[in-house]
């Protein structure tokens, strides 16, 4: 058995193998995530065909301004995440900590705005269930739109919460100087996850806020 660096786990031959394995593992996991969200998207598009008018009406009740702001916030967090990975690769401890912290803050801003949107929906009785109320002729089917809205953005928000948790863990380790030019795998792998969650939103935003609205 070759001499092991302390951060190389026992099952690997060397750091390069560990890095490749971890990255492939995350990509494989992200593929499962695509299928997970894919089920929701597939259902949504099937129903758009059957309830075009109702979904358009439902979509027009979403807050386009807040949705757009959130898209910008999330894209910004992708930038800071990429910069954090770059800092880790170059071994800049302060850069890592700064950009990870910024990413966490932007993630929390996104969740906060999402919370405000949810609160408005509760006040306007747009949450599916017995108290659901909406004027117009398509109230019944529009409720279906909001079922999808809450299921899809809810599951996405859950992924954001997990992401913020992961980044907080990275931040602590980065501050302790654990990630160096020779060992930055966790930062890169969590970065992949964070970018993926952003990309999901890049599909959710037009699907829910833009496309259905103009149908």
Q: How far is the CB of 175 from other proteins (least distance, A)?
A: 24
Beta carbon nearer to other proteins, 21 or 168: 21
Q: How far is the CB of 187 from other proteins (least distance, A)?
A: 18
The alpha carbon of residue 128 and the mean position of all alpha carbons in its chain are separated, in whole angstroms, by 24
Rg of the chain over Cα atoms, rounded to whole angstroms, equals: 21
Beta carbon nearer to other proteins, 148 or 193: 148
The alpha carbon of residue 59 and the mean position of all alpha carbons in its chain are separated, in whole angstroms, by 21
Q: What is the DSSP letter of 211?
A: I
Beta carbon nearer to other proteins, 100 or 187: 187
Q: How far is CA 204 from CA 2, 68, 125, in A?
A: 48, 12, 22
Beta carbon nearer to other proteins, 34 or 72: 34
| Beta-carbon contacts of residue 24 (< 8 Å; ≥ 6 apart) | none
Beta carbon nearer to other proteins, 39 or 123: 39
Beta carbon nearer to other proteins, 17 or 68: 17
Q: How far is the CB of 141 from other proteins (least distance, A)?
A: 4
Q: How far is the CB of 199 from other proteins (least distance, A)?
A: 16
Side-chain-facing half-sphere of 162: CA atoms under 13 Å: 13
Q: How far is the CB of 202 from other proteins (least distance, A)?
A: 19
> Which residue is associated with the tokens 């599951």?
155
Q: How far is the CB of 32 from other proteins (least distance, A)?
A: 5
Which residues of this protein are in contact with other proteins, per CB under 8 A?
1, 9-11, 13, 17, 20-21, 24-25, 28-29, 31-33, 35-40, 42-43, 46-47, 50-51, 54, 128-130, 140-141, 143-144, 147-148, 150-151, 155
Name the helix (H) or strand (E) containing 91: none
Residue 159 pairs in a beta bridge with none
In angstroms, rounded to a whole number, what is the distance separating the alpha carbons of residues 59 and 90?
45
In angstroms, rounded to a whole number, what is the distance separating the alpha carbons of residues 161 and 197?
10
Q: Please give the torsion angle defined by the CA atoms of residues 91, 97, 102 and 108, in that order, rounded to the nearest 10 degrees.
A: 130
């Amino acid at each position: 058995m070759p001499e092991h660096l302390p951060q190389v786990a026992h099952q690997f031959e060397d750091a390069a193998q560990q890095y490749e394995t971890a990255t492939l593992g995350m990509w494989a996991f992200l593929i499962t995530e695509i299928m997970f969200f894919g089920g929701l998207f597939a259902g949504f598009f099937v129903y758009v065909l059957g309830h075009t008018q109702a979904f358009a009406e439902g979509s027009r009740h979403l807050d386009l301004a807040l949705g757009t702001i959130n898209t910008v916030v999330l894209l910004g967090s992708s930038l800071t995440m990429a910069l954090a990975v770059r800092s880790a690769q170059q071994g800049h401890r302060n850069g890592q900590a700064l950009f990870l912290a910024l990413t966490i803050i932007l993630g929390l801003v996104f969740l906060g705005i999402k919370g405000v949107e949810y609160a408005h929906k509760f006040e306007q009785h747009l949450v599916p269930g017995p108290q659901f109320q909406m004027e117009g002729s398509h109230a019944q089917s529009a409720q279906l739109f909001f079922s999808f809205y809450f299921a899809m953005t809810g599951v996405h928000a859950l992924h954001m919460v997990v992401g913020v948790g992961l980044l907080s863990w990275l931040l602590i380790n980065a501050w302790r100087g654990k990630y160096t030019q020779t060992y930055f795998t966790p930062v890169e792998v969590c970065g992949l996850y964070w970018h993926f969650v952003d990309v999901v939103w890049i599909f959710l935003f037009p699907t829910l806020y833009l496309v259905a609205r103009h149908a």
